[in-house]
């Protein structure tokens, strides 16, 4: 049923969005990142993993038995959104970071937020190696979340459209971040115009990478169905 599939999209999108909610609540003093991560984000992530595993298994069984119900098809689709969205989002986050490396080496504080993520999640500044590991891990979890949310919003597209949609999605996220206290909260000291150009271009790179991944992987999965 279309309504059931729409509900499934909403559920997966909401579960993935908890990664961002974790940080946004800290901005507005609604909760601490550590508390939210333990009580909400971790369970939400486990549910996504369980849905991905269950959907992949049911989809494989349906193919093996040459039979498929609408419920099996919907869970298999959810597994694809989660699996391919997460992988595409992580690959896009890597492209996003690689694009920013030359600017970081030139002195722009574009990576300073990552240890801050770790510090807030651990509520400690020591040991520093763990703070950095946790902070970067959270950063890539946001990339994965963006990928999953994107596939929940864009169910089907042509290869070229995926890239355009990916860039639009990434720039929308950038616009939303600019409306939050993100820059002041992390004390990112640089002219606003420079900050806007660097972050917008990096997000555009993220969108191109995510859209390109989906154009290859989602079309492939569709052809295999």
Residue ranges per domain, the chain? 2-224
Mean pLDDT (whole number) for 145-172? 91
Mean pLDDT (whole number) for 127-149? 97
Instruction: Say what angle helices 70-105 and 2-27 make with each other, to 10 degrees.
Output: 30
- Residue 61: the pLDDT is 54
Mean pLDDT (whole number) for 129-150? 98
Task: Tell me the per-residue pLDDT of 69-119, one tens digit each, with 9 for 90 and over.
Answer: 677 788 888 999 999 999 999 999 999 999 999 999 999 999 999 999 999
Nearest to 207 by CA among 175, 164, 178: 164
The Cβ of residue 4 has, within 10 Å, a number of other Cβ atoms equal to 11
Among the residue ranges 64-73, 113-122, 138-147, 182-191, the one predicted with the least confidence is 64-73
Mean pLDDT (whole number) for 150-156? 88
- Residue 90: the pLDDT is 98
Question: Is 224's pLDDT higher than 50?
Answer: no
Task: Tell me the per-residue pLDDT of 58-68, one tens digit each, with 9 for 90 and over.
Answer: 755 544 454 55
Nearest to 4 by CA among 69, 82, 59: 69
């Amino acid at each position: 049923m279309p309504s059931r599939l729409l509900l499934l999209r909403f559920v997966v999108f909401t579960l993935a969005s908890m990664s961002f909610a974790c940080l946004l609540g800290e901005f507005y003093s609604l909760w601490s990142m550590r508390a939210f991560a333990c009580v909400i984000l971790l369970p939400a992530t486990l549910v996504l993993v369980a849905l991905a595993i269950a959907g992949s298994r049911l989809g494989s069984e349906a193919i093996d038995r040459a039979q498929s119900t609408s419920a099996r098809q919907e869970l298999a689709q959810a597994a694809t959104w989660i699996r391919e969205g997460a992988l595409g989002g992580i690959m896009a986050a890597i492209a996003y970071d690689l694009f920013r490396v030359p600017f970081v080496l030139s002195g722009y504080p574009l990576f300073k937020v990552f240890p801050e993520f770790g510090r807030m999640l651990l509520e400690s500044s020591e040991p520093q190696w763990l703070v950095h590991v946790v902070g970067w891990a959270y950063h890539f979890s946001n990339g994965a979340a963006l990928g999953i949310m994107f596939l929940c919003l864009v169910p089907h597209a042509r290869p070229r459209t995926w890239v355009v949609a990916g860039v639009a999605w990434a720039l929308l996220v950038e616009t939303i971040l600019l409306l939050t206290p993100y820059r002041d909260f992390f004390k990112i000291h640089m002219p606003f115009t420079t900050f806007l150009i660097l972050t917008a271009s990096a997000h555009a790179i993220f969108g191109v990478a995510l859209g390109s991944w989906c154009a290859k992987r989602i079309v492939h999965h569709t052809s295999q169905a």
